[in-house]
Amino acid sequence: MAQFQNVGIGARGVAADIDAGLRTHMNKVYGTMSVGMIITALVAWAIGTNETLLNAIFGTPLKWVVMFAPLIMVFAFGALINRLSSAAAQLFFYVFAAAMGASISFIFAVYTGYSVVQVFLVTSIAFAGLSLYGYTTKKDLSAMGTFLMMGVIGLVIASVINIFLGSPAITFAISALGVLIFAGLTAYDTQTIKTTYLQHAHSGDQEWLAKAAIMGALNLYLDFINMFMFLLQLLGNRE
């Protein structure tokens, strides 16, 4: 009987360690994402409120470099993550966040400052609720992943087509669908980060877990930024 009690106590101890490790892991994810968001906001504000810098970037061919640099960096990050140390991966993420800030800095010239802040707060509240749902729900959201990624591909194709059409109706539809898709991805990615940790918690590979936290932060960061930009197109007041 004592042996069974010891086994039960040991199992509870392991479960408690995993729970504590999961909390630490999620704090690392959200902390890294938050620092990235602060960097993005500061860079976007510094460029977007400086007419000289804004014209130097978006009034010249340099705008194409600034606009596509974050996309290139995301693909590069995915390719290099296994070869980077966790410290190098975190630095790469922060550089990416700065590049993203430069690429969206035009919003301060297009939308009112009050509107940008208002939509940011709305996005923050929505993101927090959706991420909490993804973390706490017992429902398996994995089936959503393929469907949502297909939706992202559809958004990209529709956006490229609409560059030539310039249709306000299509722009509105893309923005509305974009908000819904990245809202779903926020919950899905949060659950994926949690389940990935639980599946690898016993490995003891702290370097891998650290890089997994950074990748999780990147995914949630992209969900937030995209949801914010689509909501800004729907709710933002233009200058």
What are the pLDDT digits (tens) for 178-218? 999 999 999 999 999 999 888 877 766 678 888 999 999 99
Domains: count for the chain: 1
State the Cα–Cα distance between residues 160 and 169, nearest whole angstrom. 15
Q: Report the candidate in 124, 123, 100, 101 with the shortest Cα–Cα distance to residue 49.
A: 101
pLDDT at position 23, please? Answer: 87
- More confident position, 168 or 226: 226
What SS3 class is residue 238?
strand
State the Cα–Cα distance between residues 228 and 109, nearest whole angstrom. 16
What's the whole-number mean pLDDT along residues 118-131?
Answer: 95
pLDDT at position 120, please? Answer: 95
Residue 160 has pLDDT above 90, yes or no: no
- Under DSSP, the state recorded for 100 is H
For residue 7, what pLDDT band results from cuts at 50, 70 and 90? very low
- Under DSSP, the state recorded for 139 is S
Confirm if 127 and 224 have CB atoms less than 8 A apart: yes
What SS3 class is residue 111?
strand
pLDDT cut 70: percent of the chain above it: 90
Query: What does the pLDDT look like over 59-114, one tens digit per residue?
Result: 888 888 888 899 899 989 888 888 889 899 999 999 999 999 999 999 998 998 89
What's the whole-number mean pLDDT along residues 106-134?
Answer: 93
For residue 2, what pLDDT band results from cuts at 50, 70 and 90? low
Residue 11 has pLDDT above 50, yes or no: no
For residue 57, what pLDDT band results from cuts at 50, 70 and 90? confident
| Whole-number Cα distances in Å, 46 to 39, 40, 42, 79, 177 | 11, 10, 6, 31, 30
For residue 224, what pLDDT band results from cuts at 50, 70 and 90? very high
- More confident position, 61 or 128: 128
Strand partners, 68: none
pLDDT at position 45, please? Answer: 94
Q: Report the candidate in 151, 152, 148 with the shortest Cα–Cα distance to residue 185.
A: 148
pLDDT at position 125, please? Answer: 95
- More confident position, 142 or 43: 43
pLDDT at position 58, please? Answer: 87
State the Cα–Cα distance between residues 125 and 236, nearest whole angstrom. 17
Q: Which domain holds residue 86?
A: 2-235
